[in-house]
């Protein structure tokens, strides 16, 4: 276990916003989880799994949280005689890293997720999805940690997943996804590569993939209604407050143009919601997690 005092959330979130947390704790081995409750008590803050910080809007004021980090570690793969396979993946592994490993082994099913900048823990918790592919539909099971029960596995039948929704059935208590088991199909590496290239190019053409953003800010209000299209129609594309603004490429992405502030981002969110409600009658729900004191 390694502990870094007062880490900057601005440096740890893709939107580049945020004050300091109380501490950052690296869970280098399974035994470290046993020490976590004492450490949390010592710092007096709530635990926060940040992953890549790519779906987070953190307040510029300091937050009473302890950031929990899981290191990247190699995944384990096994293959059945019919070519299908199974992957055992660590929560701290990146989605991009997993996709590379899967392509090399010809294990298919996650290619549509290319370009999502997150960790496996984050992909589980958000049920990451794009281009007809969702992480949840590949899950065979998730290993979680809770303060009450330590590390334990929950099988797929006990998990509830939906559009950007994941519920391991643990109520309101804190949990962390530490490992996942995935069901994958047999695929040809060349076919998988060309699918990933195609998806990535489409995303790069329609989304500000390389800018400091937090992904889509709002959920789509309906499977057939794009929040981005609604926001575009009511004039939010390119709309700025201070150095924060909605992207010119896709109106559901907030961009930090340099020295943006969380107050500006929250003001933009309020304006966007109000305009969308007036214009279309849809109440937009946040996809991004707002971290406030
Ligand atoms: N559109 C506009 N203006 C905009 C944005 C979109 O007119 O500013 C139009 C597009 O031209 C297209 C339609 O709206 O005709 C849908 O756009 P897009 O294909 O970009 O899909 P989306 O529904 O806006 C969703 C996900 C994305 C995911 C893409 C591709 C949500 C909130 N967004 O966007 O996920 O990458 O589909 O599958 O579910 C994310 O969740 O962070 C995210 C980026």
Q: What is the DSSP string of 99-146?
A: HHHHHHHTEES-GGGTT---BHHHHHHHT-EETTEEGGGGEEEEEEEE
Rounded distance from Cα 226 to ligand 1 centre (Å): 6
Rounded distance from Cα 207 to ligand 1 centre (Å): 8
8-25: per-residue pLDDT in tens?
A: 999 999 999 999 999 999
Residue 83 has pLDDT above 90, yes or no: no
* Span 112-129, average pLDDT: 95
Ligand 1 atom closest to the CA of 112, numbered from 1: 38
Ligand 1 pocket, mutate which of 228, 236, 250, 280 (most atoms under 8 A from CB): 228
Rounded distance from Cα 203 to ligand 1 centre (Å): 9
Decide the pairing of beta strands 65-69 and 23-26.
Answer: parallel
What Å distances lie between residue 225 and 2, 145, 219, 233, 249, CA to CA? 45, 36, 10, 12, 18
Decide the pairing of beta strands 85-90 and 76-79.
Answer: antiparallel
Is 79 an active-site residue?
Answer: no
Q: What is the reported pLDDT for 13?
A: 98
Is 164 an active-site residue?
Answer: yes
219-259: per-residue pLDDT in tens?
A: 999 999 999 999 999 999 999 999 999 999 999 999 999 99
Rounded distance from Cα 284 to ligand 1 centre (Å): 14
Ligand 1 pocket, mutate which of 226, 250, 279, 289 (most atoms under 8 A from CB): 226
55-72: per-residue pLDDT in tens?
A: 999 999 999 999 999 988
Q: Which of 16, 103, 138, 164 is catalytic?
A: 164
Is 276 an active-site residue?
Answer: no
- Residue 121 and residue 178: Cα distance in Å, rounded? 7
Beta carbons within 10 angstroms of residue 77's beta carbon: 17
Q: What is the reported pLDDT for 154?
A: 98
**Mean pLDDT in the chain?**
96
Residue 293 has pLDDT above 90, yes or no: no
Residue with the smallest CA separation from ligand 1 atom 7 is: 229
- Residue 102 and residue 85: Cα distance in Å, rounded? 10
CA dihedral 229, 235, 236, 239 (to 10 degrees): 150
Q: Which of 24, 111, 143, 287 is catalytic?
A: 287
- Residue 238 and residue 246: Cα distance in Å, rounded? 5
């Amino acid at each position: 276990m390694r502990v870094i005092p007062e880490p900057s959330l601005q440096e740890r979130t893709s939107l580049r916003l945020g004050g300091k947390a109380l501490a950052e704790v690296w869970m280098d081995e399974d035994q470290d989880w046993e020490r976590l409750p004492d450490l949390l008590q010592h710092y007096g803050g709530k635990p926060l799994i940040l992953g890549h910080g790519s779906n987070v809007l953190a307040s510029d004021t300091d937050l009473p949280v302890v950031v929990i980090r899981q290191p990247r570690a190699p995944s384990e793969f096994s293959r059945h005689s019919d070519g299908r396979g199974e992957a055992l993946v660590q929560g701290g592994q990146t989605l991009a890293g997993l996709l590379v490993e899967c392509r090399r082994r010809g294990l298919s099913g996650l290619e549509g997720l290319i370009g999502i900048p997150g960790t496996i823990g984050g992909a589980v918790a958000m049920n990451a999805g794009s281009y007809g592919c969702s992480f949840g539909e590949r899950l065979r099971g998730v290993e979680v940690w809770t303060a009450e029960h330590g590390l334990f596995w929950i099988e797929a039948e006990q998990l509830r997943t939906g559009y950007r929704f994941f519920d391991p059935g643990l109520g309101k208590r804190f949990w962390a996804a530490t490992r996942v088991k995935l069901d994958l199909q047999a695929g040809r590496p060349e076919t998988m590569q060309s699918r990933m290239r195609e998806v990535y190019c489409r995303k790069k053409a329609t989304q500000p993939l390389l800018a400091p953003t937090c992904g889509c800010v709002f959920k789509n209000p309906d499977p057939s209604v794009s929040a981005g299209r609604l926001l575009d129609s009511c004039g939010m594309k390119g709309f700025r407050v201070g150095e924060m603004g909605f992207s010119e490429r896709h109106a559901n992405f907030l961009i930090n143009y340099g020295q943006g502030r969380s107050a500006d981002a929250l003001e933009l969110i309020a304006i966007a919601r109000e305009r969308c409600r007036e214009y279309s009658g849809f109440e937009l729900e946040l996809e991004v997690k707002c971290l406030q004191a």
